[in-house]
Amino acid sequence: MALKIVKGSIDRMFDKNLQDLVRGIRNHKEDEAKYISTCIDEIKQELKQDNIAVKANAVCKLTYLQMLGYDVSWAAFNIVEVMSSSKFTYKRIGYLAASQCFHESTDVIMLTTNQIRKDLSSPNQYDTGVALTGLSCFVTPDLARDLANDIMTLMSHTKPYIRKKAVLIMYKVFLKYPESLRPAFPRLKEKLEDPDPGVQSAAVNVICELARRNPKNYLSLAPLFFKLMTSSTNNWVLIKIIKLFGALTPLEPRLGKKLIEPLTNLIHSTSAMSLLYECVNTVIAVLISLSSGMPNHSASIQLCVQKLRILIEDSDQNLKYLGLLAMSKILKTHPKSVQSHKDLILQCLDDKDESIRLRALDLLYGMVSKKNLMEIVKKLMLHVDKAEGTTYRDELLTKIIDICSQSNYQYITNFEWYISILVELTRLEGTRHGHLIASQMLDVAIRVKAIRAFAVAQMATLLDNAHLLTGNMQRNGICEVLYAAAWICGEFSEHLENPMQTLEAMLRPKVATLPGHIQAVYVQNAAKLFATVLKSQEGNTDSTAAQETSQLMIDRLPLFVQSANLEVQERASCILQLVKYIQKLQQKDVEIAEEVNALFAGELNPVAPKAQKKVPVPEGLDLDAWINEPPSESESEDEQPKAIFAKEEPKHSRPRHTEVDEKELARRREARKQEQANNPFYIKASPSSQKVYQDTPGVEHIPVVQIDLSVPLKVPGLPMSDQYVKLEEERRQKERAEKKKKEKKKRKEKRSGRGKKHDSGPESEEDITPAHQVDIVTEEMPENALPSDDDDKDPNDPHKALDIDLDKPLADSEKLPVRSHRETPKSPAEDGDTENAALQEPKKKSTKEKREKKKDKDRDRKKSKEEKKKKKHKHEEKEEDLLGGQADAPVVQSEETSEVVAPPTSTNPEVSDLDFWLSNAPVPSNTQEATTVAEAEAAPPPEAASGTAPDSEPDQPQDADTEEAKSSKHKKKKQKKEKEEKEKKKKKKHHHHHHHSDGGGEESVQNGTVEEEEPLPPMSNYCLLAENSYIKMVYDIQGNLQDGSQVVVSVIFENKGDSFLKSMEFNVLDSLNSKLQRPDGSGPHDGLTVPFQLPPGVSNEARFVFTVQSIIMPQKLKGTLTFIVKNEDSSTHEKLDFKLHFTCTSYLITTPCYSDAFAKLLESGDLKGSSVRLEGVNMPFHHLLARICFHHHFSVVERIDSCASMYSRSIQGHHVCLLVKTSGQTVSIDAKCDEPTLLGNVLDEIKQTFSQC
C-alpha cells in the first residue's frame, strides 16, 4: 500500500512540467482543446497529491492555461496551498497564479490573510517581495484593512527593495480601504525624500496617482514637489511630478506662475523627448489656468507652439502624434497661435497614419473661422472621396458635421452651401452616420427659416432620386436621410415648386422596402403634401385634378396599410379613411382644402435636448408622494385578517387630502411662494418672462438670433457645394470693395490724414457677413431652466472615496487596525507630521489674502541715523479687499530683475506653508548663496538667541511685561546675566505647566472652521507697520506650534517710490521678554539683512523669528528699518522707525477641537472664566464667527443657531474656549482659559476688533 503511494508520487514526479505542457499543446495543433482537457484532468490528479512540489507544478501549468482562456478558479484552494509553501520557488508559483486569477469575489482569499501577513513579516526579503507583488493584484477591502498596518511598517523596511514595493502597494490599499489614507499619509510623504531613488520614485508615483483624482487635497505638497522637480535628475520622477503639477495648476494659478520658469528651463535644456513633451503639456495647463487672469504669456505659448511644431515635423510618427495631441490643448485657449500652423495640420491630414489623421481632424475642429470654414470643409470633402476604409471616412463625416454645426452654426455664413454639403455627403456609400446627416438637415431646415425653400427643393430632389440612396439599403445607414427629406418636404410643403411630383415620389411602391420608421414618416408627410396639393388645386375651376390626387392616395395607401410595421399600418389606414372621406366630399363639390390643411396647421418649434428634464415641477405636485397608500411595512401575517375588517380606514384619509378647499389651497400656495422666495436654492421665475410666455401664443416668444443681412443668392437647380465657395469669394470681395469705398468716403469727409491701416491685410472675422438673412431659432427650453451642465460623475468611482483632506491633523481614533495582541510602536516621525499638519492650518488662513495697499502718502523728509526716533507708528487694523492676483504681479517682476533673493523659507521646514511659498516666487536654482543667508536668518536654533535650555520646551514667565521691555533698551547688557538667572527660575516654577500643555496638544482633533460656510467680506490680518514715501511695511504675526517660545513675524515690504531699494536692514530693540532671533555670531543689537532688494513698485515678504517668553500680555517692540535708496544718479541712506505690536491673539493658533473633547475640557474645572459684552455689532452671526476665527485664530467647535462654541490654543498650550451668543446687536462672549491674564487680553482684543467695524 505504502509502496503504491510512493510509486504514484514518483510517477507524478515525471509528470509533465510547464515546458512539457507547452510542447504538448504545440504538438496537438489540430485537437488542442481535447489535449488540454486531458491535461486538466491530469492536473486535477496532481492537485490531489500531498506533495507540494507536484502541486506547485500543477498550479504553474494552470497559470499557463489561464492565459489561454481557461477558467482555473476551481483550483483556487490549491493555489492558496502552494502560496503557503515554505519554499520560495513554490510560494512564488502560488502567488503568481493567485495574482492571475484571484479577484474580489474569490472566496478563498479570506483564508490567505494570515499567510500573507506571515510572508510580509518574513525575514527573507524575497518572501516579503513576492507577497507584496501578489497582494498588489488581488487586494480586497478586507485584506487591505487587515494588512494596512503591516504594509505600513514595511514602508520603513531596511531594504529599499521592500520599501519601494510597500510604498507602491499602499495605493492599492488606499483604494480598497480609504480610511487608511490619513494615518499612512505622513509616512508616505516622508518617502518622497527617501535616500533610495527607487523608493522616492515609487512614492512620487503613488502620490501623483492619488493627486490626479483629488488634486485639491495635495496642493500643500506643491513646495515639496517643486523642490524635487528642481533637484531630481530621474526623468521618470520628473515626468510624474510635472504631470502632477499639470493637475494642480488649475486649482492654484499662482503655482502656475511659479512653474513657468523652471519648466521653460527644462524645455530648453532637456534632451529627453518624453520630458520635453510633458513639460510642454504642463506649461499648456499652466497657461490655460492663467488664461483668465494674466494676459502676457505669449512668449511661453510661442515657445510651446514652436516646440510642438518641431515635434509634428519630426519623422517619428509618435512625436508627430503627441505634438498634435498637445496642440489641441492649446487650441482651446489660444486658438490664434495654433491657427498660424494650419498648413502643417492640413498636411497631417494626408499622413498615412490614421491616428495622426484623426488627431489632425480634431485640431481642425477648433481652427475653423467664418473665413476658412468653406475652404477647410472643401479639403475634407476631398479626403472623404479619397478615404479608403469606412471607419476613417465615417470619422471624417462626423468631423465635417461637427465643424460646421459647432456653437450653433457660428461659422456658417451660407446655409445653402451647408445644405448642399449635406446632400453631397449622402452619396457616401456604406456610412453608418445617415442619421447624423438627417438630424442636421432637420435642424437646419427647422431653425434657419430663410433656408427652408432651398432645403425643401433639395430634399424633393433627394426623394426623387431615392433609389440612388437605397440601392442596397439593408447594410446602408444612409437611407435615414430620407426620413429627414420626407419630413422636411411634408412640413414645409408650401415651399415646394411641384408638390404633386414629390407626392408621387413618396408613394412609390419601392418605399415599402424602407425601414418602418421611415415609411411611417413617409405616410404622414404624404398626407401633409396631399393637403397642400389640394389647396393649390382647389383654386382651379377644374376639380378633376384634385380628385385625381385623392385617387392617387387611395390607390397607393393600401400598400402601407398592409405593412407589418404597426406604426405604418396605423397611420396609413387612418389617412386612407380620411382621404376616402375627402374624396366623397369632393364628389359632392364641397370645398375641403381649407379644413384638410387645418389638420396640419401650426409650426413645430425645436426643443432643446434637455428641455424635458428642465421642466419645473408644477406647483402642488409632489413627485415623491404616494399616489396610493403605501403598503405598510409592518404588515405581518397575523395582522392581515384584521385588515379585512378595518379596510375602510385608509379610504377616509384619501378624500381628506383632496377636499382641501380653495382658500386653504391659496393659503398654501402663498406659503410655498414665501418659502421659495426665501430659499436661495430655488430658482425663481423672473416675472416678466413668465408673463411673456403666457401672453404670447405661437412662435413669437421663441428667442431669435438675428444675423445681419446681405443680398441672398439664388442658385437654381441642384448646386454643388464648390460653386458656393467661388460665389462666396466673389461676394466677399464685393463686400470688401464696398466697405473700402465707404471708408474712403468717410476718410475724405474727415480729411484727417492718419488712417493708413485697415484696408490691406486679411479681413477680420467681423467683416464677413453671412450671405443669408438668417434666423437661427434657438431651441425651446422651459423657463426657469438654467443652462447648466449636469455633473455626471460616476458614483462608483473608487477614487471618490479617497477625496480626503490630508492637511487635517490626525485624530486619535484614526489608526490603522492592528491585531490586538501586538503593539505597534508609534513612530516619532508620524507624530511630527501630525503637528506639522496642524501648524499649517492657521498659516494658510492668514496668508490667503496677502497684501495691503494704501494710497495715502506721508511725505517724510530724510533724517539722519543719529536723530531722535520719531514715534510715528500707526497701528491700524484695516480690512481691505486684498488682491491675490495683484499681489503676485510684482513678484513676477522681481524675478526678472534676478537680483531678488530666495525666500528665507525655501529650504527650512516651513516650506510646507504653501501660500507663503507661492507668494514669493523664488527660483532656488539661481540664488543659492542667498538661500544660505536667508536660512540662517529665518530659523536659527532657538537657544542661540534666548540662551536658555537647549531643548525647545516652551518657557512661560508670567511677569515679564511691557514695562520691562521698555526699560530694557537702556540697560540691556547689564541685565543680561540677571535675566538668564531669572529665566531659569521661571522655568522651574512653571514646570508643571508644560505637562499640562503637552497633554492638551494631543487633543487637537479635526473639525472645520466656519469660514467656508457663506461668502464673507474679504479680510486680512496684515496690518500696517510703518510707511514713508519710499517704503511701506505691513506685518502679521503667527505663532509656531512646534516651538512654544517662537512667533514668526511676516513683513511685506512694498517699494512705493520709483527708486531702487537695497541693503535693507531690519532691527528691533529686544525686550526682556521678546527677542529677535539673529544668526549665530551676531551681536544682540545687530540688524538682520532683508534677503531681497526691491525694484520700484515691487513688494516682497520676509519673515523674522522672535523668541518670546511670556505670552500672556501683549507687548510692543520698537524697531528700525534702514535701507539705501538708489536713484540713477545718487543713492541715499534712509531709515524708518516702527513699532511691532505683539497682540495676545498672535500667540494663539487655530486648533480644531471636537465637541466632546471641548466638553471634557470645560468640565475639567481647570479653566477660569471671564466674559465680555459687545454692543452694536451689526453683522450676520456667521460673519462674526468668521471674524473671530480669522483675526483671532479660533475655530468653531459647534454652532447652534445664534450660539457657538469656539476653541483656540496658545503656542504654549493654553486652552481658550469661547461661548459666543448673539441677540440683536448684542454679542456676549463667555470665555474660559487656564490663564486669566491671557484671556483678559484676548477678550480685549476681540472687543477692539469689533469696535472698529
Partner 1 sequence: MIKAILIFNNHGKPRLIRFYQYFAEDMQQQIIRETFHLVSKRDDNVCNFLEGGSLIGGSDYKLIYRHYATLYFVFCVDSSESELGILDLIQVFVETLDKCFENVCELDLIFHMDKVHYILQEVVMGGMVLETNMNEIVAQVENKISPSGGLSAAPARAVSAVKNMNLPEIPRNINIGDINIKVPSLSPF
- Whether 1231 and 1172 have beta carbons less than 8 Å apart is answered as yes
Residues 303-322 interacting with partner 1 (rule: CB under 8 A): 317-318, 320-322
Min dist CB 90 to partner 1, Å, is: 9
Which of residues 35, 126, 392, 682 is near partner 1 by CB under 8 A?
126
Of residues 3 and 644, the one with the C-beta less far from partner 1: 3
Residues 85-124 interacting with partner 1 (rule: CB under 8 A): 87-89, 92-93, 96, 100, 103-104
State yes or no: residue 939 binds partner 1 (CB under 8 A). Answer: no
State yes or no: residue 207 binds partner 1 (CB under 8 A). Answer: no
State yes or no: residue 136 binds partner 1 (CB under 8 A). Answer: yes
CA distance 908 to 919: 16
List 707's β-bridge partners, or say none.
Answer: none
State yes or no: residue 600 binds partner 1 (CB under 8 A). Answer: no
State yes or no: residue 239 binds partner 1 (CB under 8 A). Answer: yes
Note the Cα 638 to chain centre separation in Å: 56
Q: Which stretch binds partner 1 (CB under 8 A): 34-42, 52-60, 500-508, 536-544?
A: 52-60
CA distance 662 to 673: 16
CA distances from 527 to 26, 596, 987 (A): 69, 9, 103
- Whether 1044 and 953 have beta carbons less than 8 Å apart is answered as yes
CA distance 793 to 809: 29
Q: What is the sign, positive or negative, of the torsion defined by CA atoms of 188, 190, 196, 200? A: positive
State yes or no: residue 209 binds partner 1 (CB under 8 A). Answer: yes
Of residues 316 and 858, the one with the C-beta less far from partner 1: 316
Which of residues 345, 348, 356, 810 is near partner 1 by CB under 8 A?
356
- Retrieve residue 51's grid coordinates: 506533495
- Retrieve residue 1023's grid coordinates: 496690518
Which of residues 14, 626, 645, 681 is near partner 1 by CB under 8 A?
14
Of residues 250 and 606, the one with the C-beta less far from partner 1: 250
Grid-cell match 495640420, residue found: 345
State yes or no: residue 150 binds partner 1 (CB under 8 A). Answer: no
CA distance 1239 to 139: 53
State yes or no: residue 274 binds partner 1 (CB under 8 A). Answer: yes
Pairing of strands 1031-1039, 1203-1210: unpaired
Residues 1129-1148 interacting with partner 1 (rule: CB under 8 A): none
- Retrieve residue 998's grid coordinates: 503637552
Of residues 82 and 488, the one with the C-beta less far from partner 1: 82
CA distance 365 to 399: 7
Which of residues 177, 225, 277, 724 is near partner 1 by CB under 8 A?
277
Residues 6+ apart with CB under 8 A from 523: 557, 560, 568, 571, 572, 575
- The site for partner 1, by CB under 8 A, has a size of 75
Q: Which stretch binds partner 1 (CB under 8 A): 196-204, 836-844, 852-860, 976-984?
A: 196-204
Grid-cell match 452616420, residue found: 433
Of residues 70 and 365, the one with the C-beta less far from partner 1: 70
SS3 of 330-345: HHHHCHHHHHCCHHHH
Q: Which stretch binds partner 1 (CB under 8 A): 8-16, 447-455, 728-736, 965-973?
A: 8-16
Of residues 69 and 539, the one with the C-beta less far from partner 1: 69
- Whether 1158 and 1207 have beta carbons less than 8 Å apart is answered as yes
Q: Which stretch binds partner 1 (CB under 8 A): 169-177, 531-539, 541-549, 906-914?
A: 169-177
Min dist CB 172 to partner 1, Å, is: 5
Of residues 63 and 956, the one with the C-beta less far from partner 1: 63
State yes or no: residue 387 binds partner 1 (CB under 8 A). Answer: no
For the window 278-297, what string marks contact with partner 1 as x by the rule CB under 8 A? x-------------------
State yes or no: residue 132 binds partner 1 (CB under 8 A). Answer: yes
Of residues 17 and 551, the one with the C-beta less far from partner 1: 17
State yes or no: residue 827 binds partner 1 (CB under 8 A). Answer: no
Min dist CB 67 to partner 1, Å, is: 5
State yes or no: residue 829 binds partner 1 (CB under 8 A). Answer: no
CA distance 1003 to 826: 17
Q: Environment class of residue 999 by beta-carbon count within 10 Å: exposed (0-12), middle (13-18) or buried (19+)? A: exposed
Min dist CB 925 to partner 1, Å, is: 23
DSSP per-residue string spanning 926-990: G-HHHHHHHHHHH---HHHHH-S-SS-PPP--SS--HHHHHHHTTSHHHHHHHHHHHHHHHHHHT
Amino acid letter, 441: M
Which of residues 36, 43, 52, 1072 is near partner 1 by CB under 8 A?
52
Min dist CB 66 to partner 1, Å, is: 7
CA distance 446 to 745: 41
SS3 of 166-200: HHHHHHHHHHHCHHHHHHHHHHHHHHHHCCCHHHH
DSSP label of 1166: -
Of residues 109 and 1186, the one with the C-beta less far from partner 1: 109
Of residues 12 and 979, the one with the C-beta less far from partner 1: 12
Which of residues 53, 554, 683, 715 is near partner 1 by CB under 8 A?
53
- Whether 915 and 882 have beta carbons less than 8 Å apart is answered as no
Which of residues 36, 43, 60, 511 is near partner 1 by CB under 8 A?
60
- Retrieve residue 92's grid coordinates: 512564488
State yes or no: residue 158 binds partner 1 (CB under 8 A). Answer: no
Min dist CB 686 to partner 1, Å, is: 39
**Residue 231 backbone dihedrals phi, psi, to 5 degrees:** -110, -25
Of residues 271 and 928, the one with the C-beta less far from partner 1: 271
Interior angle at CA 905, CA 899 and CA 910, nearest 5: 165
Min dist CB 166 to partner 1, Å, is: 10
Which of residues 109, 143, 151, 169 is near partner 1 by CB under 8 A?
169
Which of residues 24, 198, 712, 1057 is near partner 1 by CB under 8 A?
198
DSSP per-residue string spanning 19-88: HHHHHHHHHTSTTHHHHHHHHHHHHHHHHHSS-HHHHHHHHHHHHHHHHTT---GGGHHHHHHHHT-SSH
Min dist CB 329 to partner 1, Å, is: 12
Which of residues 109, 171, 1138, 1187 is near partner 1 by CB under 8 A?
171
State yes or no: residue 769 binds partner 1 (CB under 8 A). Answer: no
CA distance 11 to 950: 76
State yes or no: residue 18 binds partner 1 (CB under 8 A). Answer: yes
Of residues 323 and 1095, the one with the C-beta less far from partner 1: 323
Spatial CA neighbour of 611 closest among 704, 485, 702, 486? 702
Min dist CB 205 to partner 1, Å, is: 5
Residues 506-525 interacting with partner 1 (rule: CB under 8 A): none
Min dist CB 377 to partner 1, Å, is: 24
Min dist CB 96 to partner 1, Å, is: 5
Of residues 5 and 829, the one with the C-beta less far from partner 1: 5
Of residues 208 and 469, the one with the C-beta less far from partner 1: 208
For the window 61-80, what string marks contact with partner 1 as x by the rule CB under 8 A? --xx-xxxxxx---------
Spatial CA neighbour of 1057 closest among 1009, 1016, 1027, 1096? 1096
Residues 456-475 interacting with partner 1 (rule: CB under 8 A): none
Note the Cα 1183 to chain centre separation in Å: 28
